[in-house]
Amino acid sequence: MPAFIHLSRLDQYLIALDQSLKTISGVAFSRRPSPATNEEPALDEEERHLSGALMRVNHVGEVCAQALYRAQALCTQDEDLRAHLEHAASEEQDHLAWTAERLQQLGTHRSRLTPLWYGGAFAIGSLAGLAGDRVNLGFVVETEKQVEAHLDSHLDRLPAADHASRAIVAQMKDEEAQHAEAARARGALELPGPVKQLMRLAAGVMTRTAHHI
């Protein structure tokens, strides 16, 4: 993990604002090449439509991940934890760029509600961060656990011929599990059952809406 450079609170807020505007506007650059294969059989119209809808949902998930991690990092007073969260956010930014690129290849659009998804997730991440570091980490564990299950279901639903989308989702799934394990190792607090259920309900609303809009 790269060393954390000490920044003033103003610097941190300005960086968070810049990152937020870039995410909302669709500007995303990856540090790593996309795992998508270059060789792919042609998808028929129905397959392309399904892949586009599922990858749009995954892109929204990565928009929310940026908001959550950035807000959680901004709220903690522990500089080591902040560095950890920022590092995870940088990996999630790769996911964001990969899914955005795949949407373009499939000829479909990002969710038109992106500012809403980002704003809501940033607010939730801020609440988690302000609740304390162990709760903050517990929120990471539960979020990534739910995302991993969600991506696993997409691997079942994506067309077998869509090797590019499947490769992206498979790598994302592996890295979400790593993020959850790293947070657990740092002493994450187990969240109460009702909180987990509320998170599932919110994710369900986002998933169903982003599938179409």
For the chain, what is the largest distance between any 2 Cα atoms, rounded to a whole number of angstroms?
A: 52
pLDDT (tens digit per residue) in 38-58: 666 788 889 999 999 999 999
Give the pLDDT confidence score for residue 1 in this predicted structure. Answer: 43
Neighbours of 1 (CB within 10 A): 11
Amino acid identity of residue 45, one-letter, is E
What is the pLDDT of the chain when averaged over all its residues?
Answer: 84
Distance in angstroms between the alpha carbons of the first and the last residue of the chain? 37
Higher pLDDT, 158 or 24: 158
Domain boundary assignment for the chain: 45-210
Residue 6 pLDDT exceeds 70: no
As its CATH architecture, domain 45-210 has Up-down Bundle (1.20)
pLDDT (tens digit per residue) in 117-167: 888 888 888 888 888 888 888 888 988 888 898 899 999 999 999 999 999
Secondary structure of the chain in HEC code, one letter for each residue? CCCCCCCCHHHHHHHHHHHHHHHHHCCCCCCCCCCCCCCCCCCCHHHHHHHHHHHHHHHHHHHHHHHHHHHHHHHCCCHHHHHHHHHHHHHHHHHHHHHHHHHHHHCCCCCCCHHHHHHHHHHHHHHHHHCCHHHHHHHHHHHHHHHHHHHHHHHHHCCCCCHHHHHHHHHHHHHHHHHHHHHHHCCCCCCCHHHHHHHHHHHHHHHHHHCCC
